[in-house]
Amino acid sequence: MSPSVEEFRQLLRLVEQDPELREELRRHVLTEELLRLPAVVRDHGERLTRLEASVAELVQAVRELTDVVRGYDIRFAHVERELTELRHAVQELAATTREHSARLARLEELSAQHAERLARLDALLARQNERLEQLERDSQEFRAALTQLTEAVARLARKSAEHDRKLDRFSLLLGAYLERDAAERLTRFFEAEGWHLRERPRSITVNGEFDVVAAFTRGNETVWILIESKARIYPRDVAAFAKKLQDIRVRARLAEHGIRGRVHPFMVGGNIERGVDETCRNLGVGLIDVLGIAVRPSSMPVD
């Protein structure tokens, strides 16, 4: 006969009231594995708790790692930008380095050229020094020669001064001779033509000197003779004499000396250059040389 429900309930109350009975019933009903199950469950719960704590720590660590990784990403992006800039800088530096290398090569080439030029300049300087030394030696010789020449010139100057004085006296004597000879020749010439000497030959100063001035008359007619003498006569001297006669101031000064009307200009010289005769004829100036009257003058009005 199977137990009833009521009996089962009474058994349960007894089990609940009696710990020994409850323990005995558990030992007969439960296996060893089931008896250890609560301990296992508690152990698993503790392990699960520890695992949850570990997972929480891991989650926190992952979050922190994520933040770190994000920071690394930012830093990596910054590093990439810096690397890009550095790459560009390196490229520019490489280009600059190549340019500097080329310039350095040119500088080395120029340096070599300058060194070559410097070597040539050194050689030239050495030659110049040699020439300078030679010039110094020549200069010393020249100074010695110059000293001798100076002394010789001083002696010559003393002699030359004496010669100049003698030459001046000779020139005065020659001029006086030429003037006297010219006056005598002209006097004879005009007297042969029927003129009479009215005023004896004299010298006057009118913007330069007329060496001889004389007046001749024939009847009521009067003519003046103007003579300029030179040791040597050139065509330019004749032109200057003719120009002086055309000067208004000279004519006014002649008038002050009583020289009016018409004049006959003559040039007298010991040595006559070629071309003087023709110049005299063209300008109307008379010419007297050592042989006498070479060119007859034209009559010129002076008032």
Task: Tell me what the mean pLDDT of segment 130-151 comes to.
Answer: 77
Two tokens, residue 226: 């103007």
Spatial neighbors of 266 by CB under 8 A, at least 6 apart, are 182, 186, 225, 226, 227, 228, 285, 286, 287, 288, 297
CA distance 91 to 99: 12
Task: Tell me what the mean pLDDT of segment 155-169 comes to.
Answer: 61
Distances (CA, A) of 257 to 147, 200, 202, 203, 224: 56, 14, 11, 11, 12
The 10s digit of each residue's pLDDT in 260-302 is 888 889 988 888 999 999 999 999 999 988 788 899 998 888 7
In a domain, 127, yes or no: no
In a domain, 123, yes or no: no
Distances (CA, A) of 93 to 78, 89, 105, 238, 257: 22, 6, 18, 92, 105
- Yes or no: say if 272 and 294 are a contact pair by the CB < 8 Å rule: yes
- Output 2 or 82, whichever has higher pLDDT: 82
Query: Hey, what amino acid is at 217?
Result: T
CA distance 150 to 54: 126
In a domain, 150, yes or no: no
User: Tokens 């060119």 belong to which residue?
Assistant: 295
pLDDT at 161: 62
Mean of pLDDT over the chain: 78
pTM here? Answer: 0.42
The 10s digit of each residue's pLDDT in 43-58 is 877 887 888 788 788 8
Which of 42-46, 126-130, 162-166, 293-297 is modeled with the greatest confidence?
Answer: 293-297
Task: Tell me what the mean pLDDT of segment 86-115 comes to.
Answer: 83
Total number of domains constituting the chain: 1
Collapse the DSSP code of 133 into the 3-class scheme (helix H, G, I; strand E, B; otherwise coil) and give the result: helix
Radius of gyration from C-alpha coordinates of the chain: 74
Helix segments in the chain, DSSP class H: 5-17, 19-29, 32-192, 235-246, 248-256, 276-283
In a domain, 181, yes or no: no
User: What is the domain extent for residue 212?
Assistant: 193-301
In a domain, 104, yes or no: no
Whole-number percent of the chain with pLDDT over 90: 11
Query: Hey, what amino acid is at 289?
Result: D
Sign of CA dihedral 237, 243, 245, 247: negative
In a domain, 282, yes or no: yes
CA distance 96 to 91: 9
- Output 30 or 133, whichever has higher pLDDT: 133
CA distance 38 to 32: 11
Q: What is the CATH number of the domain that holds 297?
A: 3.40.1350
In a domain, 96, yes or no: no
In a domain, 258, yes or no: yes
CA distance 203 to 165: 23
